[in-house]
Amino acid sequence: MELPLKELPEEKKHMLLFMMLLQQYEKIASMNMGELPNPVHNQKEVDLKSARFAVDTLQMLRAYTSGNLNSDTSEYLESLYTKLSGKLSTLVAEEEAKKADSDIGFPGKTEEN
């Protein structure tokens, strides 16, 4: 898909490219949280360290662009960060709970349960 960037005013072009950057990090985070399949082998996988990197990058972009974005873009970034950081926190807590259960050795707890 070719974007008609040449025809856009500079400010709109930058906004479009910034939104595309945000969407790339959204896909990276979602893929590494097991929500989307990895395009290399078309399977879902969980890599919380990589997901954390993507979410932290969005957090950094929030900080560095604070006050410099139009309201729509700012709201989109805030919403995206809130959604992804919440999902990541839930996954991390689930992972820690599984680890704690296995460390304690609860009877009847197996990998299938």
pLDDT at site 5:
74
74-103: average pLDDT: 92
Containing structural domain, residue 63? 49-97
Mean pLDDT of the chain: 89
Reported pTM: 0.81
Residue 68 counted as domain residue: yes
From CA 28, how far away is CA 88, in angstroms rounded? 12
Residue 80 counted as domain residue: yes
The number of folded domains in the chain is: 1
Residue 12 counted as domain residue: no
Q: What beta strand segments (E) does the chain contain?
A: none
pLDDT at site 107:
56
The owner of tokens 């985070």 is 29
Residue 113 counted as domain residue: no
pLDDT digits (tens, 9 = 90+) for 94-110: 999 988 877 676 555 55
Residue 16 counted as domain residue: no
Residue 34 counted as domain residue: no
pLDDT at site 26:
98
